[in-house]
Structure 1
């Protein structure tokens, strides 16, 4: 790409990147800048981290910032940059100046191989197979850091937490000290082990490096430990920054480099990190500490973001009100680098990273300035959390009330549905009952009409006239008195040769209304039935009713009470209870059981009345 076709801003970015690369090919620098949307910071990070520029995004988008810092070194005078603010600085290379352009060119040329290697590494990792190194050199030859102890590919492959834990363990070995949290965990484990031995139980004690201790005190001295280190945050630098911002805590970043001559005395001889006064100050004010060696990826990235150029390096950061030029203070605080201390730690009273210098800075400058604001931020956060809990409690109460209201409404709806179903079933039952009653009434009327036709026919065709005096053709004359269910009385003379059907036909004819004259009686049986008693017998058998149900009544001798059962073609003279005549009571059988009971009671009363009275007739001998 032609350099003359670039805009002034792009030309300036290209010049800065070439200065970082100590010259180099302009086309390679332009390709790297295009891959990161001309962000000089990201381009330099890519070149110094792994030399592999990412694929250029299809649509331009603003660069993603992981965190935003403001650097406040007004009281330290350590930045030396008249323009202020955050700016990329050149990092002193650890190798020859001509090696970096060569690495950038190799990074671009080996991009396909790099992608293939990444895919194979991912597959081997899924299969839990160690990835072999086939080339005489590894990708670490393109990295920013020199080879040294712990700088191999295996060390770089560790995750941020493992890197931090490895560095803290190495720091403990070099200083002969133990982190406060780990020392407390050891003491608790010892106590639990002693208690387990005393009780005979196998109890596992807590484990240690990640444990967070409380305030450091003299009780921590013991168990053969004379020096202590602060509890380091085990995780990535980004997690450390987010934790400080989220919890409104003061953060302390400790960066070292084994290539600097001031680091060994900082860790082993001056013992800045193990100073009891500084350690107590850190513990009492709940300062979160994070550290690392810039040979590790996370520590090197933190060094670039904090613009560290000399080691050992210590920086303090915390939330501060955002300062915008010409617009006053913003309402939202931002994480700000409050001070940076870099360089030697000797002499112990005035060196930038000496314990006494840090103690004086913390007590006289940083704490008075930062603590009130952080307390305010934490108070506001606690208030917001309290309001959130209140809202959550109100939401739960509202949800519970809504649930209960819904349950009540559903219960009422179910009750109404049950009531409606019950009402519907009751209405259906009443409708069926009315229909059945109507059908029964229709059937009853049809049967009554049918029986009335037979009554009228039997009155003409089967009821014989009474025998005349002196007539002997029908045998002896027998007198029979009748008492009807409605209280009427009747006396009738029959001959001994008359059939029992004639007696029943006469009683049946008593139910024909008086307004129906005998002249209107039919001469043939209803429904074209057979004439005479044979037709009557056939009708009773075809009606599927018992004889007493077909007749609708029974005849009982009044005293002694005995039923006169109807039998087809049987002579009256053959009925033992009617020899010589008698008094009969007519009882209906077509009514319900209660009607039967009432009829029986009326029949009993009628029989008693018949016995008491005498109608003046005598039976012929």
Structure 2
């Protein structure tokens, strides 16, 4: 199944827990985390090891996960949602909640259960049957609440009489349930208003317990969890004398201590679930949680706890002692992560350099290919122009020979009423030629064009030549009379006698085209 099509809600409880552990440590997206966890048979420890070692693709983790995987759990309903009680060890001293021979109790990651999933509504017929009992219970609760408001010592006395000094956390079901971030904001606001402190006096984490838990695990910081219960008399002195003391405030704000401080009141659903998961039996409660690789590669354990009233120096000393015991181990893990990150950065830089080099080679190949194509195009155009020029020259030579054969002979001395034209050629030679009165102006142009082919020897030796097919001749000169200057264009046609007269002196002027001008300028 593709990761993009995998429905997370269809995962079992153990699979969701493995996914949460893996993403909290590696900070990967779900699309990248799900395929590796599936390969590792949903063993989070093996998946995390393969991720940081960078050999998830080279080493087959399936066989190793199959050997390390526990027996498959019984099938569970897909509708079952993750709750706090699923993470609570069944026995306080059981193997699930303790480290292997080191006395550390694993701290669970608590995801608050939505209010809609904590209580399942009864079907409508049952609700109708239980309506009298619900009304009776509501009236009794209201009356007992009014008596407790008038006599405040009665609820405390009954609470101590019922459960003694060690009591389980109680939750106020009347408080409006909010999401973890809003719940944390509400607690901080009520804490500051009740004890008269400004915002930021204590660096509370403005998010849920799971977010603070993941932050401490990812950055290898110490998570200080403080749980308060307004029903206990020791809460207010503990807050004023211990939490708000200058020593503890400095201890929590000191950057070198790497502390993430999260606090809550058990009146809220999330803090209540956290208290139940941490097996809290006495308030006020504080504990220090940190990553303990000696237990497992992903475990977060409680290394120091405090239940009940305690002075600030004693609490700080207890936490500092536990932090010193774990400092070397955390430094070793930080060094390993830095080396792994440096290796990943180096690999990324090498891959980036390779990609840049490959892109440069592609660009060079593209430019070379374009230059070759441009060169081939230029050569092809030059060949085409040369062929066109050669064809034009052959057609012009054939047309001149053909036209020279079709020019009538010059009238003899006995001819009368002839037209006598004196021509000055571009070479400087002067030629006098007689034409019949009916001769067209084009015949005069043809005489000038074919003058060098009109010799008697050329005419006798020249064979019959055909007009080149599809060729239209264009004269590259014009005939002009010098004074007054007048040009006799061949396009206007007409007879020589009508256009020029019985005689005339004409100059042959060459017509220079734009291409010829460009060639002359280049030369």
- Contact 2:228/2:284 (8 A) holds in 1: yes
Instruction: Give yes or no for the alignment of 1:384 onto 2:340.
Output: yes
- Contact 1:318/1:337 (8 A) holds in 2: yes
SS state of the match for residue 262, structure 2? strand
Deviation at residue 111 of structure 1 after TM alignment = 12
**In the alignment, which of 265, 268, 288 is matched to residue 293 of structure 1?**
265
| Distance of 1:546 and 1:37 partners within structure 2 | 103
Instruction: Give yes or no for the alignment of 1:356 onto 2:274.
Output: no
Unaligned runs of 5+ in 1: 1-34, 43-56, 72-78, 88-102, 114-135, 183-208, 210-228, 324-329, 346-352, 465-496, 505-532, 555-562, 578-586, 594-621
Taking structure 1 as reference, are residues 65 and 567 closer, same or farther at Cα in structure 2, changes over 3 Å only?
same
- Cα deviation code 1:407-447 (max 9, x no counterpart): 22222222222212211221221122122122212212212
- Contact 1:245/1:335 (8 A) holds in 2: yes
| Distance of 1:68 and 1:60 partners within structure 2 | 15
- In the other structure, the counterpart of 1:267 is 239
**In the alignment, which of 154, 159, 172 is matched to residue 146 of structure 1?**
172
Instruction: Give yes or no for the alignment of 1:429 onto 2:452.
Output: no
SS state of the match for residue 216, structure 2? helix
Instruction: Give yes or no for the alignment of 1:337 onto 2:293.
Output: no
Taking structure 1 as reference, are residues 68 and 427 closer, same or farther at Cα in structure 2, changes over 3 Å only?
farther
**In the alignment, which of 262, 274, 280 is matched to residue 250 of structure 2?**
280
| Distance of 2:395 and 2:77 partners within structure 1 | 87
Deviation at residue 387 of structure 1 after TM alignment = 2.9
Matches within 5 A, 1:218-237: 229-237=201-209
SS state of the match for residue 445, structure 2? coil
**In the alignment, which of 83, 88, 112 is matched to residue 94 of structure 2?**
83
Instruction: Give yes or no for the alignment of 1:254 onto 2:226.
Output: yes
- In the other structure, the counterpart of 2:188 is 168
Matches within 5 A, 1:38-187: 60=78, 81-86=92-97, 107-109=121-123, 145-146=171-172, 151-153=174-176, 156-157=177-178, 159-178=179-198, 182=199
| Distance of 1:261 and 1:321 partners within structure 2 | 38
TM-score (norm 1): 0.44
Deviation at residue 66 of structure 1 after TM alignment = 9.8
Deviates more, 1:250-259 or 1:542-551: 542-551
SS state of the match for residue 232, structure 2? coil
Taking structure 1 as reference, are residues 63 and 428 closer, same or farther at Cα in structure 2, changes over 3 Å only?
farther
SS state of the match for residue 255, structure 1? strand
| Distance of 2:171 and 2:299 partners within structure 1 | 31
- Cα deviation code 1:264-284 (max 9, x no counterpart): 33224xx11123333333324
- Cα deviation code 1:212-265 (max 9, x no counterpart): xxxxxxxxxxxxxxxxx5311110111101110111001100001112333233
TM-score (norm 2): 0.52
Taking structure 1 as reference, are residues 401 and 292 closer, same or farther at Cα in structure 2, changes over 3 Å only?
same
Count of matched residue positions in the alignment of Structure 1 and Structure 2:
333
| Distance of 2:263 and 2:125 partners within structure 1 | 33
Taking structure 1 as reference, are residues 309 and 68 closer, same or farther at Cα in structure 2, changes over 3 Å only?
same
Alignment RMSD (CA, Å) = 5.1
Deviation at residue 59 of structure 1 after TM alignment = 7.6
Deviation at residue 290 of structure 1 after TM alignment = 0.2
| Distance of 1:105 and 1:411 partners within structure 2 | 70
Taking structure 1 as reference, are residues 590 and 413 closer, same or farther at Cα in structure 2, changes over 3 Å only?
same
- Contact 1:167/1:293 (8 A) holds in 2: yes
Higher-Rg member (1/2):
1
| Distance of 1:588 and 1:463 partners within structure 2 | 24
Taking structure 1 as reference, are residues 547 and 537 closer, same or farther at Cα in structure 2, changes over 3 Å only?
farther
SS state of the match for residue 290, structure 1? strand
Deviates more, 1:283-292 or 1:410-419: 410-419
SS state of the match for residue 261, structure 2? strand
- Cα deviation code 1:80-111 (max 9, x no counterpart): 83424239xxxxxxxxxxxxxxx999723269
| Distance of 1:232 and 1:258 partners within structure 2 | 18
SS state of the match for residue 258, structure 1? coil
Which of the pair has the greater relative contact order for Cα pairs under 8 Å at 6+ separation? 2
| Distance of 1:111 and 1:334 partners within structure 2 | 47
Taking structure 1 as reference, are residues 264 and 374 closer, same or farther at Cα in structure 2, changes over 3 Å only?
same
| Distance of 1:381 and 1:592 partners within structure 2 | 86
Deviates more, 1:395-404 or 1:287-296: 395-404
SS state of the match for residue 336, structure 2? helix
| Distance of 2:510 and 2:227 partners within structure 1 | 115
- In the other structure, the counterpart of 1:96 is none
Unaligned runs of 5+ in 2: 1-9, 18-74, 99-116, 128-136, 143-169, 422-433, 455-481, 483-494, 513-523
SS state of the match for residue 243, structure 2? coil
Instruction: Give yes or no for the alignment of 1:445 onto 2:394.
Output: no
